[in-house]
Amino acid sequence: MDKLPTYSESPPVDFPRLARWKLKHRMAPIALTLCFISVASLLLPLSQLALLGKHSVQLPLHAEQILQRCNMLHAKPGPPSDFLQRTESDRFVEGTHATLIRNASIWTGDQEITQGDILLDKGIIKFVGHARPGMFNNFKDLVTLDAGGSWVTPGIVDLHSHLGVDSAPALSGAGDTNSWKGPILPWLRSLDGLNTHDEAYRLSISGGVTTANVLPGSANAIGGQAFVIKLRPTAERSPSSMLLEPPYTLNGTHVDPTLPPRWRQMKHACGENPSRVYGNTRMDTFWAFRQAYDTARQIKEQQDAYCTRALAGEWENLGEFPDNLQWEALVDVLRGRVKIHTHCYEAVDLDDFVRLTNEFQFPIAAFHHAHETYLVPGTLKQAYGHTPAAALFATNARYKREAYRGSEFAPRILAENGIDVVMKSDHPVLNSRFLLYEAQQAYLYGLPANLALAAVTTTPARIMGLDHRIGFVREGYDADLVIWDSHPLALGTTPQQVWIDGIPQLSEPAVASKPASFQQAPRPPNFDLEAAAAIKYDGLPPLTPKKAKNLVVFANISSMFVPDGMGGVMSVADVGEGSVVVLRKGVVRCWGVVAACASEFSSEDAEWIDLEGGSIAPGLISYGSPLGLEEIQGESSTHDGTVFDPLTGSIPSILAGSELIKASDGLQFAGRDTLLAYRAGVTTGVTAPTSDGLIVGLGTAFSTGAAHRLEDGAVIQDVAALHVQIGHSNRGPSVSTQIAALRNVLLGDKGSTTFAEVTKGAVPLVVQVQNADIIASLIDLKKEIHTHTGIDIQLTVSGAAEAHLLAKELGEAGVGVILTPSRPFPDNWESKRILPGPPLTNESAITTLLAHGVTVGIGIVEQWSARNTRFDVAWAALESFDRISKEQALALASVNLEKLLGVKPSGGLGDMVVTRGGTVLDSAAKVIGIISARRGVVDLI
């Protein structure tokens, strides 16, 4: 177990020492009284203590402990003054060799050091700088690593995680995120539910995460106490051995009066979550807060009054110290000894909570999620004590009403207002393995580079009160480091090695080569106008693009990618640096050098647009989420709704014998997620009805840029494929029953013409499935149908977390795969056997499937992430060890998805996305236009 200080239950009496301490703190009158009492206590037995003043008083048996406790009531948390003089970490593991990292580009947390060296020894950073030759010759068994100029940063720190309490895979026996016993539960502790077998620890470490603040969930107004952990496995295999600086009182021991207390962490929540769980309103929740804090305040005042008397020597009828195990943590909040992490989204809740802090006089460490903090920075600055930080997602928003005004520009705007910004995962809401990706996105949308890196390292460490040992590359700090394969703000950057407490965590890391340009931070696009609009329009800026003139000339193009007519994507050879592309009403008329296209625009007033070395590529497709059928996930009135499941309930008579449900009938156009996706190069959405059962319905393809369904080209294809889903469910029938039912409708019942079309191979069958064993059964079912009909059905499996286990069989059977999401996570038992990709494995699921001739597409799970499709395909190529070209990467979210989902190519070039400053795969490029021949327009963004 970690080497935590232990203290005697009955420390020796030392009243003269206590008196000197009080004198030092300018409490001479009380100190003299205590000295007198201490001398008297040495001369007389406690039971016969002489009169002091008018009355004879007997000291309590544990008077010295009481006085020590009273003296510590107002002590502020922090490290001992000599902490950085330590020579060995309290988490050092015997046998760990010292490590010297040479020739590294170091981001220390507040500066950059070029070609520097770092020495790790006994769990501590012992040297940072430029080492002299032979400087470390006295170290025995020194491990030396030449970084070759690679970037080294502090380990990633996740301020908001549910690692170990919301475990992967999700099983009912390991769901310990929330208690449902009441809205006010400050006495609960996340540590008491910490699952050491969570499979996400290893995955998160592989993304560079070394430390996480494990919070209770947000079902309750006060959910309980949080605990900070290091993610590495320990020899003890216990939750306690993972803790970083837990309170000294964790196991009921008394506090050593020579040491300041350690910071505690606590979770609060306001807004929709506690209201939904307990059927309350915001008024109810804040009354519960006020009641709880009033209870804590009364206990605090009783303690203060008690200690005033004790320190004055007024022992008569004093009684026992007024302690309360249930409320002691909340009392500590009022004493300024707890870091409060408050799940709070919108202005009304932020304002309520700020008023609460001033009423009861306690500070907030950070508002979490905090989607509207950028709109009310002045409100945050009115909080008691100091301005809280804002712990944010980069682009995850609009999943409920209070998140609807979330903006990708929030980190930038808050930083411009002098407010600390933290990027967090809320793992497993976002897979914390990719927490650095949140910082990368914040940087691309305007957060300065140093603040973006600090947002996942130094700033969360400081917010938790642990910046004396983590979050920096400094001498005396914990040896928690990451060496990256590219600049930490470059898309797809991956650890080459991760050290926690000086112990390397990756045994045989798979490191893909990255372009040399990736060793520098990308140049972020200019989003000044968009950020200003977010404020101007109160978080809801207009998203509808502007229509260009009929004749448009895109100039200074460096590359162009188009469908090759054979199901792939190709690069256009005669488009290079300085080329132009000429369009009339959305149709490409000419490309190449200016002179070659001059006849197309010489006689008309053309709109010229400089792409500054930009590119044109096929429009991207988004699949896998309810995009186009749902505006706010948490508001049912914004949904198309859920279709009936014939396996679990009766079909209404009005629907009996009718065709399957069509997603196209429920399409909603011009939603915010849809338009944000369009503005990011996603021109087509493919969606299926929402279902909890076997038969989902008929998917549809629609234009993400259309205003309504009657607009030309709005509905690209009314019916694309038949969608079903098979898997384990707490409510539904067995998997074998589901497959039997599917077999029957495909081979038996011909009541539906759509099922007959599937059996004829005319309409694709898309099955949402994760588990390899179920996928194997579907491959057999495809063979069975061929045996009966002589026809190969078009079968696509989506989700497909374990499809890589059957890559060979899928390729031989001609079954396509859509990976949703493209970077896997073992959410549940059915998706447990993922192939994580670098640095844990050389192969990813995508490269494995492609190597066996499988047609692969990628998708998403939630519609807010449709806008990030371009980054998803770029990431797939970057971690492929050069096995996926740019053309193949673009195909993953364009022509491959058309084939797999039954979307017929439109002919010609189809929709195209226009980027300035690079290709759509480059994070530094900005989407500035959409070309749509189908709709006859060029939209400018």
133 contacts: CB under 8 Å, gap ≥ 6: none
Cis-peptide, bond into residue 504, ω within 30° of zero: no
3 state DSSP class of 664: helix
Spans of the chain, pLDDT less than 50: 1-54
Residue 368 and residue 160 in contact, taking contact as beta carbons nearer than 8 Å = yes
* Integer Cα distance of 223 and 181 in angstroms: 10
Predicted local distance difference test score (pLDDT) of residue 730: 62
Phi, psi of 575 (to 5 degrees): -115, 115
Residues with Cβ within 8 Å of residue 145, at least 6 apart in sequence: 99, 100, 101, 102, 483, 497
Other CB atoms within a 10 A radius of the CB of residue 905 amount to 12
Q: Which helix (H) or strand (E) holds 785?
A: helix 772-789
CB contact set of 317 (below 8 Å; sequence gap of 6+): none
Amino acid 754: pLDDT: 87
Pairing label, strands 795-799, 816-819: parallel
Residue 123 token pair? 């769990």
Model pLDDT, residue 578: 82
Other beta carbons less than 10 A from residue 26's beta carbon: 7
HEC letters along 742-773 = HHHHHHCCCCCHHHHHHHCCCCCEEEEECCHH
What's residue 32's pLDDT? 39
How far apart, in whole angstroms, are the C-alpha atoms of residue 731 and residue 77? 50
Model pLDDT, residue 504: 98
pLDDT at 573: 82
Which tokens sit at 735? 């998997």
Strands (E), 593-681: 607-618, 620-623
Query: What is d(CA 690, CA 768) in angstroms, rounded to the nearest whole number?
Result: 12
Residues whose CB falls within 8 Å of the CB of residue 395, separated by 6 or more in sequence, listed in order: 408, 441, 864, 865, 867, 868
pLDDT, position 45 = 38
Residue burial 566-601, b: 16+ Cβ < 10 Å; e: rest: eeebebbeebeeebbbbbbbbebbbbbeeeebeebb
Three-state SS string over 610-621 comes to EEEEEEEEECEE
Per-residue burial over 612-641, b = 16 or more CB atoms within 10 Å of its CB, e = otherwise? bbbbbbbbbbbbbbbbbbbbbbbeeebbbe
Residues paired with 927 in a beta bridge = 915
CA 622 to each of CA 627, 702, 813, 868, 903: distance values in angstroms, whole numbers, following the listed order = 8, 10, 26, 10, 12
Nearest to 273 by CA among 345, 330, 225, 212: 345
> What are the backbone dihedrals phi and psi of residue 607, each rounded to the nearest 5 degrees, phi first?
-95, 110
Closest CA to 609 of 927, 934, 932: 927
Spatial distance between the Cα atoms of 572 and 564, rounded to a whole number of angstroms: 10
Query: Model's pTM, two decimal places?
Result: 0.92
Question: Would you say 606 and 549 are in contact if contact means Cβ atoms under 8 Å apart?
Answer: yes
Work out the end-to-end distance of the chain between its first and last CA atoms, rounded to an integer number of angstroms.
Answer: 57
Ramachandran angles phi, psi of 164, nearest 5°: 85, -20
pLDDT of residue 602: 74
- 3 state DSSP class of 935: coil
